[in-house]
């Protein structure tokens, strides 16, 4: 019985051991399966993480490539900017050098610009004056042409034609700024010479006064009949024939004027007579028909003038009169200067006499004070010493004068200086008085004399 129990116990223990081993094996298998499943899950997670990291690495690598490209571009741009900056600095230095080199040129350009501006201003003023003079001349010409057209029918007679010529001549002369009976005179009677050499009375239409006491004669009786007929001619042949007759008539009138020798009746007058044709077209037509007419008139001491040319000549004469007036004023100023210089010498002599008189008065005063101090005051002091009631008086003293008059040192004062006569090369020309004009007022020289005397 006990053996069976022992066997049963041994079997039980073996079964327990087997069960324990079986449980351990099952646990090991289960642990291995769980570990394998966990490892597989971790492997899958690691693989997924590895794939993600590889993707991120690829993106980072792509980004690094882009950044490298951008860095290269930035480096290149920086190099370009540095080159441009260096070029800009070099250009700036070069520009500064050029500006410094051109500074004198700029100053000269400014000076030239100022000079050009002044010239332009002067040119504008001169152009305005010329334009005004031309406009005035054009107005005179238009007026003369209008008068010529309107009076053509009245000029058929010789007397009417002569009167019209004189009227036109007077208008031209007055347009030049001249005044009747002062700058010119009309119908001045005088003695002349005829073609036969005999003396006869002549009466020129107008005499224009020139500086220096000279005169020039104007004639306004030029023939116009043939010219007016030419204006009414119906064909060119008739017009040419009338114009040829007009030129011939003008030539004959020139010879008649030359034979009268008006200049012999006027002292110191130029050997010339002005023959006035009251229309520009009349003179032009005569010269077209006879081209030698102008030279022929000049050889006979006759000048053919139209309104425009006469106006220009008279303008020149008026300008000469103005210049002559300036010369007169300059001569008067020169004479006043000489007179003032001479009077300064006289004043200097008077001042020197006064100084000598003052010096003598000072010497007399000093002798008087010396006599008072040496002879009068000692006696007065002795009287004062004898009478103690008398107080000491400071007035019993005198002081000599030690200030002497200042001597005159200027040569204008020390000597009665006189101006030497003006040398021949600088003497002012003699000025002629314009006929009909009075002596200039002496108000201003009088005031100068008063100031010099003062």
The tokens for 346 are 């006289």
* pLDDT single digits (tens) 308-348: 777 777 777 767 766 666 666 666 677 777 777 777 777 77
How much is the pLDDT for 445? 36
Instruction: Write the CA distances from 410 to 350, 360, 448, integer angstroms.
Output: 14, 22, 22
**Beta carbons of 184 and 178 less than 8 angstroms apart:** yes
How much is the pLDDT for 161? 58
Taking residues 415-442, report their average pLDDT. Answer: 42
With a CB cutoff of 8 Å and minimum separation 6, the contacts of 453 are 343
Query: In the predicted model, is pLDDT for residue 385 greater than 50?
Result: yes
How much is the pLDDT for 450? 37
How much is the pLDDT for 197? 54
What H or E segment, with its residue span, contains residue 144? helix 2-150
What mean pLDDT is reported for the chain?
Answer: 72
206-210 and 190-193 beta bridge pairing: unpaired
How much is the pLDDT for 434? 43
Instruction: Write the CA distances from 3 to 6, 7, 17, 113, 312, integer angstroms.
Output: 5, 6, 21, 151, 184
Rounded CA gap, 322 and 332, in Å? Answer: 15
How much is the pLDDT for 416? 46
pLDDT band at 193 (very low <50, low <70, confident <90, very high): low
How much is the pLDDT for 180? 52
Query: In the predicted model, is pLDDT for residue 63 greater than 80?
Result: yes
How much is the pLDDT for 429? 40
**Beta carbons of 278 and 307 less than 8 angstroms apart:** yes
Taking residues 364-387, report their average pLDDT. Answer: 79
Taking residues 7-18, report their average pLDDT. Answer: 75
pLDDT > 90 in the chain, percent: 0
Rounded CA gap, 143 and 148, in Å? Answer: 8
Query: In the predicted model, is pLDDT for residue 69 greater than 80?
Result: yes
* pLDDT single digits (tens) 16-53: 777 888 888 888 888 888 888 888 888 888 888 888 88
Taking residues 103-109, report their average pLDDT. Answer: 78
How much is the pLDDT for 157? 53
Whole-prediction pTM: 0.38
* pLDDT single digits (tens) 150-188: 655 555 555 555 566 666 777 777 766 665 544 556 666
Query: In the predicted model, is pLDDT for residue 399 greater than 70?
Result: no
Taking residues 286-295, report their average pLDDT. Answer: 85
Query: In the predicted model, is pLDDT for residue 422 greater than 70?
Result: no
Query: In the predicted model, is pLDDT for residue 89 greater than 70?
Result: yes
Taking residues 368-386, report their average pLDDT. Answer: 79
For residue 208, the Cα-to-chain-centroid distance in whole angstroms is 37
Task: Name the most confidently modeled range: 107-121, 267-281, 333-347.
Answer: 107-121
User: Which range has the worst mean pLDDT, 5-14, 55-64, 199-208?
Assistant: 199-208
């Amino acid at each position: 019985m006990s053996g069976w129990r022992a066997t049963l116990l041994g079997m039980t223990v073996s079964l327990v051991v087997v069960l324990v081993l079986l449980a351990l094996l099952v646990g090991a298998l289960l642990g291995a399966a769980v570990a394998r499943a966990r490892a597989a899950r971790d492997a899958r997670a690691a693989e997924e993480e590895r794939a993600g990291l590889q993707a991120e690495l690829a993106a980072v690598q792509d980004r690094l490539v882009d950044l490298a490209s951008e860095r290269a571009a930035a480096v290149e741009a920086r190099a370009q900017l540095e080159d441009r900056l260096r070029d800009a600095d070099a250009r700036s230095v070069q520009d500064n050098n050029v500006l410094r080199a051109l500074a004198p040129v700029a100053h000269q350009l400014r000076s030239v610009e100022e000079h050009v501006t002044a010239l332009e201003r002067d040119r504008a003023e001169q152009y305005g004056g010329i334009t005004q003079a031309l406009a005035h001349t054009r107005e005179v010409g238009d007026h003369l042409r209008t008068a010529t057209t309107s009076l053509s029918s009245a000029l058929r007679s010789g007397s009417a034609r002569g009167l019209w010529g004189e009227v036109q001549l007077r208008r031209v002369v007055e347009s030049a700024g001249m005044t009747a009976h002062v700058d010119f005179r009309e119908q001045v009677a005088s003695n002349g010479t005829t073609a036969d050499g005999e003396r006869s009375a002549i009466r020129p239409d107008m005499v224009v006064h020139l500086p220096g006491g000279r005169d020039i004669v104007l004639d306004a009786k030029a023939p116009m009949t043939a010219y007016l007929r030419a204006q009414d001619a119906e064909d060119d042949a008739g017009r040419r024939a009338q114009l040829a007759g007009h030129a011939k008539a003008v030539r004959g009138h020139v010879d008649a004027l030359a034979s009268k020798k008006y200049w012999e009746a006027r002292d110191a007058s130029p050997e010339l007579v002005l023959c006035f044709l009251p229309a520009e077209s009349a003179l032009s037509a005569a010269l077209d028909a006879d081209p030698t007419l102008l030279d022929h008139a000049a050889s006979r001491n006759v000048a053919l003038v139209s309104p425009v040319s006469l106006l220009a000549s008279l303008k020149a004469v008026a300008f000469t009169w103005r210049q002559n007036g300036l010369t007169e004023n300059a001569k008067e100023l020169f004479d006043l200067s000489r007179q003032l210089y001479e009077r300064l010498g006289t004043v200097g002599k008077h001042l020197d006499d006064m100084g000598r008189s003052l010096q003598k008065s000072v010497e007399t005063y000093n002798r008087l004070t010396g006599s008072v101090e040496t002879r009068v005051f000692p006696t007065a002091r002795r009287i004062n010493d004898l009478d103690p009631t008398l107080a000491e008086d400071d007035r019993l003293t005198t002081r000599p004068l030690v200030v002497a008059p200042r001597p005159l040192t200027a040569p204008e004062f020390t000597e009665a200086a006189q101006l030497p006569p003006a040398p021949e090369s600088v003497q002012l020309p003699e000025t002629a008085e314009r006929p009909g004009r009075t002596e200039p007022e002496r108000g201003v020289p009088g005031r100068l004399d008063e100031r010099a005397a003062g």
